[in-house]
Amino acid sequence: MSDLVIPAPTLPTVPTTTGGRFPVRRIFCVGRNYAAHAREMGHDPDREPPFFFTKPADAIVADGADTPYPSVTQRLEHEVELVAAIGTGGSDLAQEDALGHVWGYAVGLDLTRRDLQAEAKRLGRPWDTAKGFDASAPIGAIAPAAEVDPTSGTVELRVNGDLRQSGDLADQIWSVAETVAELSRFVTLAPGDLVMTGTPEGVGVVRRGDTLDGAITGVGSVRTTIV
C-alpha cells in the first residue's frame, strides 16, 4: 500500500523521433543568447555570462496540440528555440565534454507574458509568472544528438504562414556546449532536464486563433494553435 497522501503527479514526457518518449524532469532556459534579440529587447549584446530561468516540466504542450491563451496578460509573445535534452547528468562539466551529456535536440517555443515580464523587470522582481505559466512550452519531437549539428542551422518561426523570426544557430552568443557547461556550475544536471537555448530576433505578439510553426534545419519542427 502506498503511503502517498495524494496521487503522484504524472511525469511529463516528450516524443522522440526514434519512437520512444523522453521523460522530463526540469526545464531551464537561457536568456538573450542572440545579439540581435538582445538589442530588440533593449540590452547590450556583449558577451556577458549567460543567465537562466526555469519553467515547470508540466508546462510542455505536445507538438500539434492547442495552447490555451494564458490568463492575466494582454501581450503573449512567441520565442522559437533549440532545446537540448540532457541524457546523462553531472556538475561542473567541462565545455569539451558538455555535448556528450545531451541525448538529443528539439524545437521549442518559449511563450512569454511580455507585459508581466516588463513589469517584473521594472520592479526588480522574478520572472516566474511571465515565463513559467501553464502551457508555456510547446515542444516538438526530440531527435537523437548523433543526427543533429547544434552549431548551425536556420531557426524560423511563422505565424499563420507569415515569417516572424529568422536566425541561425551559428548566431548564438553562447554555444550549446558553453551553455550546458555554464548551467552545470549552478545546478547538478540530471537525465530528463531540458535546456532551451535562447531565441533569435523578431519576437512578437500572438493572439487567439494564431497558428505557430517553429522549425530548425536539421532538427525538426513544432506547431501549436493559440485558443
The percentage of residues in the chain with a pLDDT greater than 90, rounded to a whole number, is 89
pLDDT tens figures, 143-200: 999 999 999 999 999 999 999 999 999 999 999 999 999 999 999 999 999 999 999 9
- pTM given for the model: 0.94
**What's the pLDDT score for residue 39?**
57
Q: Which 3-state string (H, E, C) describes the chain?
A: CCCCCCCCCCCCEEEECCCCEEECCEEEEECCCEHHHHHHCCCCCCCCCCCEEEECHHHEEECCCCECCCCCCCCEEECEEEEEEECCCECCCCHHHHHHHEEEEEEEECCEEHHHHHHHHHHCCCCHHHHCCCCCEEECCEEEHHHCCCCCCEEEEEECCEEEEEEEHHHECCCHHHHHHHHHHHCCECCCEEEECCCCCCCEECCCCCEEEEEECCCEEEEEEEC
Average per-residue pLDDT in the chain? Answer: 94
CATH class of 24-44+57-225: alpha beta
**What's the pLDDT score for residue 48?**
74
**What's the pLDDT score for residue 53?**
96
